[in-house]
Structure 1
């Protein structure tokens, strides 16, 4: 069986990506967090770092990794690159002189340390000179009392990081309170208060996405659309010239490029390029997450033996954040797209043959391992290496240049 690691993004005040916290799950036990924390960390590092490289999972951003007491005392983190790693001291760790010595030594070696689920208890004061991040669970610390708690730490030289941020409104409120970094999928939640009217350019891009959902593509019609938009033509040629496609002959025309790609891959490209233009002024991680979901849903459909659904599965994953991109209710956006009912059902209710792959990636992202296990058991053959599918999706998203 396989171990898994999910990642949750961490942003600064400008919504620039700082790194990811890595969330562990062991498929043999399926009991995390009941699995011993030291064993969890050991397995995560041996399976993900030694076999695959953490930088592949984090895209060369910082990796925030949980360490329990014994791992810290025995200096287990020193197997990692200090420039790419933040050592999170779990909330279950008890303060001791041995812990203080271990953290002082790790700090001396260049590691950044974080206190996870910080409780504002005075016992941690002696550790503060070696701490770079204090992580505060805002579900356990109500907003109305946070300002006073943070004021007590006015001499702290590190950064405050808010965990479990779920909405943009919370993100803005936490900035006012003095937090520096923010963890969660709040950036993927649409703000529905504006109900902005979609512009002509956005409608044009949505029509392209709708074209990708057609059972059969009209190549001549697509050539006409591409020829009117130099940017789309350039992106098509750059996409087909990427390492993803191995060619022995040069591409001679736009239609040649489209025919070379074939309907299945061309549909993916149309959805990708249209969504990338819609995301032009949005948080880049939003587009990347859409692409990861699209690729993952595509691969899951194939692994499940539903090759006829791959294009639709890809489109379902790609459109799963369209409401956040357009700041519109999802049902309103979908009402303007002539999509198959099974795609709409998947996006709105996570049901049907296309809803299952989407549900799988959503549970994976959030490390909802029990729900993930239930979906995986129903959907995929027992020996499917879902971790490999997820890593493939991460790699694919990193390689694309849209």
Structure 2
């Protein structure tokens, strides 16, 4: 359910934050799990970059990420933006012609490369032309080795990091030797960050959500995304066979289903599945309430003769409980989702018509009839119609939940 990543700051000569090194962890105990280094790197990329974004983990600072032989040769770093990351080459890599050629390509693509735990071994010489940063573990190399190496490296424009700095005296000493950056317990121990891990289906859903907000849907691309995920394909067919959507037609393929539904219904289907898929172990009532809100907000906008905005109303209602479902701040979540501007504003508390729709549906949920009357009057809608829209939304939500089994 949750992923854990530790980050340890790297500071400059003024003790100001320069970057964070990201370290994979298996839980809140702040321990490295018994897995291969390559797997640890893969999981950092998946659980930090793909799930929440490296920039959120680092607060916008540069991220140092350890890469080992296989993750380098398979070019895992290219999934990251060069400006956001330093490729940290671990001391355990096997230096080969293939590895050197790969690192040369990374450097040409604009990536900064760092050597971790530099031990002054001659095996690193072929890599040094492509290296921007060298990290010294001050507990494993001698003072003479450091004093000999520092001038040579700096002459070649290489920045230096002193690791394992644990006292103010060490910081001042290595700053005096010409080191540019510093890392160690004197500044901070690794800090554990916990975030909800998204399943492969949830990652597919985020990709679908992005596609669903484009002015013209690419049905072929959406079909390809759905076909990669058996559970989502199954849910689409279950959805289209719901009596409220399809009463007579036999559906022969996923593409046929989406063509039959029409673009607006496909958008709603994607949003519905996204929420159902992200709801995890949360109570079914939360999902049902989200669906009620979605249908109700959509109906209100149609009644206000804002049919073109009804999809935004649907999304606003549907995602109005996503902060509870995902156990994250609403503003943080909204920034990641490709939503219409008005929907984002309403979900974050700004006043607009969509926010009025949310107030209205919440008044129904809580039985606040004076508020229902006041809001209805403001929107120039009859009370009898408002109650009808809410009843219809309840019926629709029940039907949808029956068509959308738990993942």
- TM-score normalised over the length of structure 1: 0.49
Query: Which has the greater radius of gyration?
Result: 2
- TM-score normalised over the length of structure 2: 0.49
